[in-house]
Structure 1
Amino acid sequence: MTENILEVNDLKINFHTDNGAVQAIRDIYFNLEKGETLALVGESGSGKSVTTRTIMGLLAKNAEIERGSIQFKGKELIDLPENEFRSIRGSEIAMIFQDPMTSLDPTMKIGQQIAEPLIKHQGMGKKEAWDKALDMMNLVGIPNAKAHINDYPHQFSGGMRQRIVIAIALIDNPEVLIADEPTTALDVTIQAQILDLMKKIQRELGTSIIFITHDLGVVAGMADRVAVMYAGQIVEVGTIDEIYGFPQHPYTWGLLNSMPTTQTNKGSLEAIPGTPPDLLNPPVGDAFAPRNKYALAIDEKKQPPYFQLSPTHFAATWLLDEHAPEVVPPLTVQQRWAKYKQAHPEADKKQAKPVDASAILSR
């Protein structure tokens, strides 16, 4: 069994506002194995960034961790004193933020920004730190790095700035790298280059990656596993093949059905109707039910448990219950199922069994 470097167990986070408590994260479970890439996928507001900022110890002052556990290499991060968190943040767990324009200090030279973590975390001398910064600039593919180490952020393109942000995150050789939509502000060509760069660095350094995105298409060739988030919960989790080839939650169907592929017919893409629920007063049952044309009566009354389809595949939907009626998913999903079953004839959603959510951690 592969060793987990990170485990998130029964995490619940509220944000206190003038209008009441926003239940931003509602009982989520997931794990991250050494050397793997886990993608957190979902619409804006689903809780992806809040989850990872909690791991980094960077929650806003009005946030309250009501309950839960975050174990990093067996060490509990919840309520860890700030002085201890500083020894982990940036050195053992690092983060690439979404917008390189706001992640870099416009008044500091690039070399100084890349070298600073080594000086602060490892007490390294300036010359040695700058030498390592130059090596990292070369590693992330900045052309003629030696001539540009004294440049300022405004002298670089968006794609180069993002490479610099990645260099800053990786300079301490962290064991976990959190990438918060690192390609959102970039054009498609540069997106591909950044994703290839992250995979190359992962192979060379053995880093575990949590990749946050709203776009399932971006992670198709990037992730080992995918956790689909909706309304502060993980509604489906599985390997990349299981989520793309044998998806079971209607929300996952909607995400996949809105993603163009080389086989997509003109006019066949469909948007998910409606909007996410108000988490000041989250629904009693399945949060996706009001937007789900496949919703059952029980969805309005009771939140579904996780149903396990394989050792790695879990989905929280009543459609997998043995008493649920048979529904016909979108045509694109039917095609995905058919292709998946050719390679995995044992796959059968009728064999899904309800399990406790903690089973996700013990696979």
Structure 2
Amino acid sequence: MSEVLKVENLHVDFNTYAGKVKAIRDVSFSLEKGETLAIVGESGSGKSVTTKTLMGLNAKNAEISEGSQLLFKGQNLLDLKESEWQKIRGNEIAMIFQDPMTSLDPTMKIGMQIAEPLMKHQKLSKEAALKRALALMEGVGIPAAAEHIDDYPHQWSGGMRQRAVIAIALAADPEILIADEPTTALDVTIQAQILKLMKDIQQQTDNAIIFITHDLGVVAGMADRVAVMYAGKIVEYGTVDEIFFNPQHPYTWGLLNSMPTTDTQSGGLQAIPGTPPDLLEPPKGDAFAARNQYALAIDRQEEPPFFKVSETHYAATWLLDERAPKVTPPIPIQNRWAHWAQLKGNEA
């Protein structure tokens, strides 16, 4: 696989009346062609701000620090002017938004909304673009597409509207598809259909996907790699199996313990106590320390670096320091570790 995107040392602040909100604090990750990277975390952790930055869609009060880099095809996207962004946005990097009803223009026919990016980016005629739009509607599983190409969004169900949004995002055959919680507003059955559709499309086009979600259950079936975000930072990063079965950061433990599963008998779901910190004044040390029952004294004094767990797995927690005392994680996490040891034993 080849690298299509590299994010390095990304810092994003928002200037507000109350002060400067440090929304993204030194985020780095890469994305390979044909892979799915999931970014997970609670609301307010910085997931959506990260992806809006990748699309050049942040609000005017956003301030990106010098030294931040978004490298796409060797070019730093942060150096682009708005006119240059318009050539990339929706063409080479496209986005599926969370709520299809607010993503679609209620006054415009759906077929025309799908055709519009083709007319803009590929300079197709209206007739040719609508023909391609029809093929896209069929490709995303819209039944009797020819009969519904002139429908308006209010005439469709939530699941069908989300398929239309996916068709719009795929219209120009982008290299990177960003999906910002695309199944949150859908019921479980439709959610499964949309996720399968995205995987099928990826296998056909070999595009890269960044999948934003707070639902770790969705991640298990979608992602190749996972970045766990908390308080504007990535705190753990690894393959999907490493994050699910060998998690190392207490925040990741908390997220997993709040998710129902049949694999690890938990005896009940556990909520993470407390609330995320105020990023107007990020706390000293580890931002998760105040909510972390396993916090060490150093967590309140010094921010942990990334510790290497494996060639593909890193976690920012002082518990991985060789000087740290050994702690016993919750039983569900111990069960996951046991499953991981069994997986590694079978590989050997």
Give the TM-score band, short-chain normalised: over 0.9
Consecutive unaligned residues in structure 1, runs of 5 or more: 348-363
Give, in angstroms, the shift of residue 290 of structure 1.
0.2
Distance 1:345 1:263, change over 3 A: closer
Match of 1:3 in 2: 2
Match of 2:64 in 1: 65
Q: State the identity as a percent.
A: 69
Distance 1:265 1:243 in 2: 18
Match of 1:359 in 2: none
Partner-residue secondary structure (3-state), 2:4: strand
Alignment partner of 1:29 is 2:41:
no
The one-letter amino acid of 1:100's match is P
Residues 39-54 of structure 1: pairs in structure 2 closer than 5 A: 39-54=38-53
Distance 2:263 2:151 in 1: 45
The one-letter amino acid of 1:88's match is I
Residues 224-239 of structure 1: pairs in structure 2 closer than 5 A: 224-239=224-239
1:305-358 deviation digits (Å, cap 9, x = unpaired): 0001111100000000000000000101000101111121599xxxxxxxxxxx
Alignment partner of 1:103 is 2:103:
yes
Distance 1:346 1:279 in 2: 44
Match of 1:139 in 2: 139
The one-letter amino acid of 2:270's match is E
Match of 1:282 in 2: 282
Distance 1:199 1:346, change over 3 A: closer
* Alpha-carbon contact 2:246-2:340 (below 8 Å) kept: yes
Match of 1:152 in 2: 152
Distance 1:313 1:231 in 2: 20
TM-score by length of 1: 0.94
Match of 1:55 in 2: 54
Distance 2:36 2:311 in 1: 18
Distance 1:263 1:16 in 2: 45
Distance 2:345 2:14 in 1: 45
Match of 2:246 in 1: 246
Distance 2:236 2:220 in 1: 16
1:43-73 deviation digits (Å, cap 9, x = unpaired): 0000000001001000100000013100012
Partner-residue secondary structure (3-state), 2:222: coil
1:10-37 deviation digits (Å, cap 9, x = unpaired): 0001000011000000001100000000
Give, in angstroms, the shift of residue 4 of structure 1.
1.1
The one-letter amino acid of 1:21's match is K
Partner-residue secondary structure (3-state), 1:220: helix
Distance 1:189 1:123 in 2: 37
Match of 1:86 in 2: 86
The one-letter amino acid of 1:156's match is W
Give, in angstroms, the shift of residue 97 of structure 1.
0.4
The one-letter amino acid of 2:232's match is G
Match of 1:351 in 2: none
The one-letter amino acid of 1:293's match is Q
Give, in angstroms, the shift of residue 283 of structure 1.
0.9
Match of 1:356 in 2: none
TM-score by length of 2: 0.98
Give, in angstroms, the shift of residue 222 of structure 1.
0.5
The one-letter amino acid of 1:38's match is L
Distance 2:76 2:306 in 1: 25
Distance 1:324 1:168 in 2: 50
Distance 1:34 1:93 in 2: 13
Distance 1:81 1:251 in 2: 38
1:239-259 deviation digits (Å, cap 9, x = unpaired): 001000100000000000000
Give, in angstroms, the shift of residue 79 of structure 1.
2.7
Match of 1:116 in 2: 116
Match of 2:335 in 1: 335
The one-letter amino acid of 1:231's match is A
Partner-residue secondary structure (3-state), 2:26: strand
Distance 1:249 1:73 in 2: 33
Give, in angstroms, the shift of residue 234 of structure 1.
0.2
The one-letter amino acid of 1:151's match is D
Consecutive unaligned residues in structure 2, runs of 5 or more: none
Distance 1:318 1:65, change over 3 A: same
